[in-house]
Amino acid sequence: MALVIRKFSGLSDLNAFVTGRLRGSVDLTKTHSSLYLHNLTLEFTTPAETVTFAASPAAAQVPLTLAQIKAQIEAQTTGVSVAFCQGYLELFMNSAGLIALAAGGTAKPLFGFAAAASSARPLNPPGGAAPTFISLSPEGSQSNYLLTYNDA
């Protein structure tokens, strides 16, 4: 049994981790008017696919809307879903599993993903296959949470 304790700064971060979602760190609702993504890419290693964003008309370099970003990612990948939680882009697999971004990809910094970002595997209930949930508790007077799980 390999116990792991992780601290989360809010429920959104905690929920993304527990459900196996890969979450960007940029609030896109604050930068949506500058999402000029035409010909920029988002490269996945799991699944092994690349999304190339396209604006219309391309010559005008118009910013993409959040709905267009969602539609283009989902249309160009197999089994990847997109959600926006409090303005942050979340990527996840339709069936439970790992999702990972490659080190490359020119659009990745605009969404706030780390160099080679990958999600955690979704946590299973106690007694299930690893990783399994053990406990969750508030930490301090802030909106922090401590999650304990078995990763073996």
Question: What is the maximum alpha-carbon separation in the chain?
Answer: 56
Split at pLDDT 50, 70, 90, the class of 40 is: very high
pLDDT score, position 74: 97
Split at pLDDT 50, 70, 90, the class of 1 is: low
Q: Which helix (H) or strand (E) holds 111?
A: helix 108-111
Residue 128's domain comprises 3-150
- The structure's pTM equals 0.79
pLDDT digits (tens, 9 = 90+) for 98-143: 888 998 899 999 999 987 777 667 777 777 777 888 888 888 767 8
How far, in Å, CA of 94 to CA of 91, rounded? 10
- When divided into structural domains, the chain yields a total of 1
